[in-house]
Amino acid sequence: LVAIASIYAVARATGGFSSSTLLLGGVAFGFLFTSVILAIQYAGDVTTSFRIGRWLLGGLEVVGFLPVVHVLPFAVAGIAILLAVSRDLDLLVVGEESAAARGVQVTTVKKLVFAAASLMVGGVVATCGPIGFVGLVVPHVGRLILGPGHRSLGPFSVLAGGTFLVACDAVGRTVVAPIEIPVGIITALIGGPFFLGMLVHGQTR
């Protein structure tokens, strides 16, 4: 909550709530809070340091449905918000000025998306740790299959993202069994080259 409030305050202070400010503010506060986590890890005992390091890799080691129940309100609220503004997101893809000319409250929509994404990511990371690249790989694959429409892309991302994560977890548990590789490592190994491929493709088109 402190991180979200801090990034929001920086975006408000710059006036306009721009996407670039949110991105750069997120990166800056990400480094700041990562240094705090590392300081806690360094000051802790061996067991605490190992648990923190293991959590930072991301994983699906939770047992039972209680963690799922804890995450569910954050996920449901975030998904509901994004589906409610899916039409506005379609217009924003064309450009903020064009969307505003068609009646979209650009700043309001961006604030709603920021709040929804923060809710979902915060709830999931608190339970599973930071598992990267799922939200990057799956939606872009969905765009290639379904097109840019967020009303269909949203449900696809939810279902395909969960399927992709379970598949990566299965690979991590079996590829060098009985040793289990944390799922965050598997998603990074897949997502890193995918992201680089997107950059190269975008520059050479």
Grade residue 16 by pLDDT with cuts at 50, 70 and 90.
low
The alpha carbon dihedral of 57, 5, 8, 15 has a sign of negative
pLDDT score of 156: 93
Mean pLDDT, residues 100-111 taken together: 87
Is the model's pLDDT at 97 over the cut of 60? yes
pLDDT at residue 54 in the model: 85
The pTM of the full predicted model, rounded to 2 decimals, is 0.80
> Could you read off the pLDDT of 35-80 as tens digits, one per residue?
998 999 889 888 888 888 888 888 887 778 888 898 999 999 999 9
In the prediction, which pLDDT does 159 show?
93
Tokens of 130: 């930071």
pLDDT of residue 202: 64
Could you report the per-residue pLDDT of 150-176, keeping only the tens digit for each? 889 989 999 999 899 999 999 988 988
**Average pLDDT value for residue range 92-116:** 87
